[in-house]
Structure 1
Amino acid sequence: MASKTALVLRATGSQGKGVRDPEEPRALALKDSGAQLFKGTLDNPDSINAAVQGCSALFLNQIPSFTDDAETREASSIVVLAKAAGVKHVVHSTTLPFQYPDFRTRYADNLAGPAIIGKGNVEDLIRESGLMWTIIRPGIFMTNFTTPISNYMHPELAEGKLLEAVDRDTILPLVDPDDIGAFATAAFQDAKRFSGKIVPLASDKLLSVEIGREIERASGKKIEVVFKPANECEEEAKTNLLVAGNRLTVGIDALVDMEEVKAWGIPLTSFREILEKNRDAVMPEQW
């Protein structure tokens, strides 16, 4: 099998906030593993152009925009530069709700909707780019429940509470960001198998009470799972972006078939495993 060089955008993030300091521990860890680091931003064509030279593959990973079409404009510029540099295959990580054919109208009135719809526009751009493509549609990141991301996504964990704006019987499709990386790697290594494929991805499916139980088990701290009343959730979702995003997760577990995911033959990480692997990041520092 011929070797490939891939440009991984935002490689120092966890499908979330990245770092720009090449001396930061996350960046140094990548460097130690053999990666070549490039400092830049996705809206800077010069930095992208420098990084993509010599690459035959691209992992496209962007921050959503809630206010404008910045994500689409960035992706359009990146695709042009990638094609000019000789990239043949792009793996694009988007989001599980795109499994709904009507996601644009379904989420049009949700406060978090513009970010979802914007990513949908980028997905369309990739499929029409002329490049070989593979699209991964992951569920909810397991890292949302570990620090430092949980400090923002679930700040009440600092008080021993997991506050949820979903129904008690809502099943959440969770994904380890490392599993997204494993699927992307597999797609680059076996382009024939993954070309033109859309992969809905979850690593585990759990109820909120089960998530709380696993956090409690890993941390040794008592966790109370609190469900906001539905009418309160709907009202808060009009002004609170986190609540609005939380509401978007209701029902999306049905969009991913775990047996189909397992059929790809790529090992998956359970929520318990990621908590054990990152035990020092299970609870907020304020606890």
Structure 2
Amino acid sequence: MILVTGATGNVGRHVVAQLAGAGLRVRALVRDPGRADLPEGVEAVKGDLTAPETLAPALTGVESVFLVWPGFSGEAARPVVDLVAAHARRVVYLSANAPAGTPTFHADVERLIRGSGINWTFLRPGGFAANTLGWADQIRTGVVRWPYGQASRSLIHEKDIAAVAVHVLTSAGHNGAAYTLSGPARLTQAEQVAVIGRAVGREVRWEDQEPQEAREALLTAWGDAAFVDGALKAWGRLVDEPEEVTPTVERLIGRPALPFEQWAADHVADFR
């Protein structure tokens, strides 16, 4: 039995679907089983990672766990990691390959997992292609205003992260591995917007926004000044120090990582 947390999220829903499609026993941790819309044969169990006392039924009889931590505090994951280690033999943790200087809770969660005694594998994707969904409203207007148009990232399709997770969950030889994942090529943020525009059949132009103006909006959304400032600094660094491109996806699953153009085509409806 494999337990998938974040089972209705961008990555988790693909992990669930791919595992179920392979005929494996899958249990999905969800807040509301009635609204989860899971593939046939997947067992939905109600639970919440931020309320560890709800997790025991989901972990009973589980061998492996795909773990997505939803909070900004890594230390808060301690009781969840302890429970997973007490019930399961292996955890695959969706971590991050964050740009240098970006505040991240993932290092703390990784540390907790290493110290728990459970067999582990860490997946460290860089920029998620799905994060560009944050521009959807602006894409519809034809103009995207955001800082650092020349910041360059190797964005990864969530389907590729899921495919790697499924491979690791269902094959041997990954214990103690930390895999850095990326898309197949770098694109600047301005180029990403142009790709999305072509996919939706609409000309979309980029306008550089002053970082201070973006900071005010991000403070409203995130509420943590240190996190916002660190993120803006890291994004700015990507102008001169582009995100790395790694061959890990192809090495693990036997096909090249999906290009951003494919991701945009898969998400046309989200931008219309």
- In the other structure, the counterpart of 2:75 is 72
> How many corresponding residue pairs?
245
1:270 aligned partner, one-letter code: P
Pick from 48, 53, 75 the counterpart of residue 60 of structure 2: 53
1:12 aligned partner, one-letter code: T
Question: Residue 251 and residue 91 in structure 1: after superposition, are their counterparts in 2 closer, same or farther (change >3 A)?
Answer: farther
Q: What is the percentage of aligned positions where both structures have the same residue?
A: 25
Matched, 1:130 2:117: yes
Question: Residue 156 and residue 12 in structure 1: after superposition, are their counterparts in 2 closer, same or farther (change >3 A)?
Answer: same
Deviation at 1:266, TM superposition (A): 4.2
The gaps in structure 1 that reach 5 residues or longer are 101-105, 108-112
Structure 2 counterpart SS, 1:140: coil
Q: Deviations along 1:56-89, whole A, 9 cap, x unmatched?
A: 1111102232xxx3x422x22122222222x111
Deviation at 1:119, TM superposition (A): 2.3
- In the other structure, the counterpart of 2:199 is 218
Structure 2 counterpart SS, 1:96: coil
- In the other structure, the counterpart of 1:103 is none
- In the other structure, the counterpart of 2:247 is 259
Q: How does 1:130-279 map to 2 (within 5 A)?
A: 130-146=117-133, 150=134, 155-168=137-150, 170-192=151-173, 194-204=174-184, 205-228=186-209, 232-234=210-212, 236-237=214-215, 240-241=218-219, 244=229, 245-251=231-237, 254=242, 256-267=244-255, 268-279=257-268
Query: For 2:172 and 2:115, how far apart are their aligned partners in 1?
Result: 18
Structure 1 counterpart SS, 2:145: strand
Check the 8 A contact 2:180/2:246 in 1, yes or no: no
Query: For 1:163 and 1:212, how far apart are their aligned partners in 2?
Result: 10
2:145 aligned partner, one-letter code: L
Question: Residue 167 and residue 215 in structure 1: after superposition, are their counterparts in 2 closer, same or farther (change >3 A)?
Answer: closer
1:233 aligned partner, one-letter code: P
Question: Residue 141 and residue 19 in structure 1: after superposition, are their counterparts in 2 closer, same or farther (change >3 A)?
Answer: farther
Check the 8 A contact 2:145/2:208 in 1, yes or no: yes
Deviation at 1:166, TM superposition (A): 1.6
The gaps in structure 2 that reach 5 residues or longer are 14-28, 222-227
Q: Deviations along 1:93-122, whole A, 9 cap, x unmatched?
A: 111127x5xxxxx34xxxxx3xx1x22211
Query: For 1:249 and 1:55, how far apart are their aligned partners in 2?
Result: 39
Structure 2 counterpart SS, 1:258: coil
Question: Residue 139 and residue 77 in structure 1: after superposition, are their counterparts in 2 closer, same or farther (change >3 A)?
Answer: same
The structure 1 segments of at least 4 consecutive aligned residues displaced by more than 6 Å after TM superposition are 16-19
Question: Residue 191 and residue 162 in structure 1: after superposition, are their counterparts in 2 closer, same or farther (change >3 A)?
Answer: farther
Query: For 1:7 and 1:161, how far apart are their aligned partners in 2?
Result: 41
Deviation at 1:260, TM superposition (A): 4.2
Deviation at 1:167, TM superposition (A): 4.7
Query: For 1:221 and 1:9, how far apart are their aligned partners in 2?
Result: 36
- In the other structure, the counterpart of 2:5 is 9
2:7 aligned partner, one-letter code: A
- In the other structure, the counterpart of 1:89 is 90
Deviation at 1:16, TM superposition (A): 9.2
Question: Residue 138 and residue 250 in structure 1: after superposition, are their counterparts in 2 closer, same or farther (change >3 A)?
Answer: farther
Question: Residue 157 and residue 269 in structure 1: after superposition, are their counterparts in 2 closer, same or farther (change >3 A)?
Answer: same
Structure 2 counterpart SS, 1:240: helix
1:160 aligned partner, one-letter code: G
Deviation at 1:234, TM superposition (A): 4.9
Deviation at 1:255, TM superposition (A): 5.2
